[in-house]
Structure 1
């Protein structure tokens, strides 16, 4: 993992204009008010061996935690945000994006309001769907968390 490169991507997304339409973006997807970028992604684990998935997920969690340390030094300490509660809420209420989609992909996120940008930054390991690759995600949005 290249922490400096990942931090540079997050910094750039905090100031890049959001696109007018939803669609692909370098490293992920983007739309009005939101970027979702895979900082790291597994290859060949889609529906693969559970033990190998667990190892990769654990490594991505360590990578996420290392990035969290850097961002916490900048924007302050944050507690993990349980996305399971957000996922449960999607059954009975309208959860704004990207939060609804993130809760379907990840169990926990770390979240900051990026000072001076009017944007929120979230880091999460997307490993909930066993039929998909595991990803270390950075989400940058102007939509406050629900």
Structure 2
């Protein structure tokens, strides 16, 4: 199984898991981890794009959602629901789809230069703000 197919299978399993009771609930998993900026981050961005293309074939085209506006809203003290508040601090953009009553997001967490770069997938009941 190729790496994209493996991550798509993980996302499918994530969509079928029970979300935590109470509130909106969400699950976020690391699909892949790179070490440091540069090529590792570039590889994860390319992998995210490949996964997004396959998901778009199933769920429809979804332009990437820039996270700067959410970061500015947080900085002004606005209450941004989870998982979107954390995702906007960790990623610069997300690919987001609505799948029935769930929302699916994938993005590369590469904003912290002192941390590893991570390809994330999130499933939640909470619509993006």
Scaled by the length of structure 1, the TM-score of the pair is 0.81
- Name the structure 1 match of 2:91: 106
- SS of the residue 1:87 aligns to: helix
Question: Is 1:86 the equivalent of 2:78?
Answer: no
Aligned partners of 2:70, 2:60: CA distance in 1, in Å?
A: 23
Shift of 1:3: 1.1
Aligned length: 127
Please say if 1:126 is aligned against 2:109: yes
* CA deviation string 1:14-56 (max 9, x = no partner): 12101348xxxxxxxxx9610110000124x3xxxxxxx1211
Corresponding residue for residue 142 of structure 1: 125
Residue 9 of structure 1 pairs with residue 10 of structure 2: yes
Distance between the aligned counterparts of 1:32 and 1:111, measured in 2?
17
Superposition RMSD on alpha carbons, in Å?
Answer: 1.7
What stretches of structure 2 of length at least 5 have no aligned partner? none
TM superposition outliers: structure 1 runs of 4+ over 3 Å: none
Q: TM-score, normalised by structure 2?
A: 0.92
Larger RCO (CA under 8 A, 6+ residues apart)? 2
Identify unmatched segments of 5+ residues in structure 1: 22-30, 46-52
